[in-house]
Structure 1
Amino acid sequence: MVYVTPQNTTRSLRGAAARTVEVYDFRRPTTLAREHSRALEVAFETFARQWGTQLTAKVRVKSQVTSEQVMMQTYDEYAASLPATTAMVMLKLEGFDSSAVVQFPTSSALSWVARMLGGNGSLPAPDRKFTQLEQALVKRLMEDALEDLRYSLGPLLPTAVSLNSIHYNSQFAQAAAPNDLMVVSQFAILVGENRATATVALPAELLMPQLGAANPTTSLEEAPGLLRRQMSSVPVDVSIGLVPSAVRPEAILNLTVGDLVRTKHPSQRPLEVTVAGQRIAQAALGKNGPRLAARITDIEENRA
């Protein structure tokens, strides 16, 4: 039995007031289905390899880009997770109001530019806006990266994409409405000894229709047909031999080279074709070039 006292009631009300309840819209889930997530991971892993190769060629030092995770976030959540000062390259999507984003630290981009201009890029660079020359070189890097992104996503990216602008304040850059869902992929970039974290954000409304077509779901009514088609391609062991004969153990134990084992298989009777011990057909001996073969003479239907 539980006794309710004024103190318990007050404590309970305080606990209820401390909890926050968020409304979840099941029509717009903020998580990716497993098959969709895997398809995106494969695409972004391909992009990471291509981007790393492109950086190596441009900055003339060994570079590596690794795809770390793919997630679904609202644009507001995505922007809040970024540093206040960072490079956000806006990508214009034909037919869409929202933009895609390629984000990376400005300090890392400045070290890449320094290497492209003949420096070693080892000195730490401050987080600041790019000069006109630096911005032109960064845009050249992004144009090549954009080609890699188009290639990696393939049919998942059905619309034309082009560079639009570069923003430096994540809180003021408006690539999409605050509640719009974005597919965000996070990357680790290693250029020489310099490490950085970058992200690519694409509107979910751009990718999800293609993901559904690339990973269609099937109904339960189609399961028997799918199972039959799958089983038809599974390899099985087929045996061709004589009719089995019963032999005593002493005859087996005393077998020597040259002994004859009598069988009950008549000389005029065809051989038996079996799968997993189940007889399915009869066959006669034949040849296929230099090899022995069995020619099927009769099919036995299993009506069990």
Structure 2
Amino acid sequence: MNHHVLPPLITAVSTGLLCPGLLARARWVGRAPRLAVAAWGVLAAAFTVAVAFGVMLLMLPYDGAHEMAHHAAACLPRDGQDCGAPADPSDRWALTAAAAVFALPAAAFCRELLTARRRRARHASGLRLIGRADTRLRATVVPHGEPAVYCLPGRQAQIVVTTGAMDILSTDQLRAALRHERAHIAGRHHVVIGAVDAFRRVFRGLPLARQAGSQVPLLLEMTADDRALRHCPRDVLATALYSMAAARVTDRSAFAAGGPSVAIRIARILDRSGAGRPVLTGLLWMGAAGLVMLPAALTCCLILP
């Protein structure tokens, strides 16, 4: 094995095995959930790129790795050089294998989006039979005793409110719950969930995939809470979530204001203690994680022959 494989190997181990646990336990993620979601995305992207390059380099002989590096340099837009296609068949097979690593999560992502879209379409067809449109709430009202407010995102997004929720929520509480759901729709959070599910499906058993699958949905709920808090008091949103804590929405493609994460979110909403500078802390954390792999890359690619 040539030494060029070490940088992607170190990157894959760091992003796939070591960093997920550190990020899941970091205190700043609850204060800056949007940045935390971005951090999970950076880890997933770095791991995928590292695996692709690692597979490509493993398929090349020692001299072939140097030739591939010179070929990649020729493709850079300078001096008008035309890189063309690799002449060596082994180079072409290595590039094909690397492309396949990228294609697998991309195909799984498309599949997740299509599957979720079909589920939402079936759910929406049922709502048309039993629900009624409420222009004042800009939502679909469903006769059901269990208090629930949720949304079906996508191109034809809609928010669903049960009559049970309308009975127990005050006007301000209902407005806060509706703002929470509109934040999910505006943020296109269903696309993020589709990407996380696709990554978990392809890299099943990987700590990064497992941790992201459990952390990202909670962070997206926190992000929607923060968006709603721009227009309503903390206690109003907290009491609205508490009233719908037992709500269960069976459709996995829907975002519900209640659910199992309510206790964590209510504690976070009501926590008025100083948060410091969570965004700065998160950026420093992400920068430090990237610098961990820099010495190894420099050693392998610049110092070693």
- Greater share of helix: 2
Instruction: Judge same fold: TM > 0.5, yes or no.
Output: no
Q: Return the structure number with greater relative CO, CA threshold 8 A, min gap 6.
A: 2
Q: Which is greater in Rg?
A: 1
TM-score by length of 2: 0.25
TM-score by length of 1: 0.25
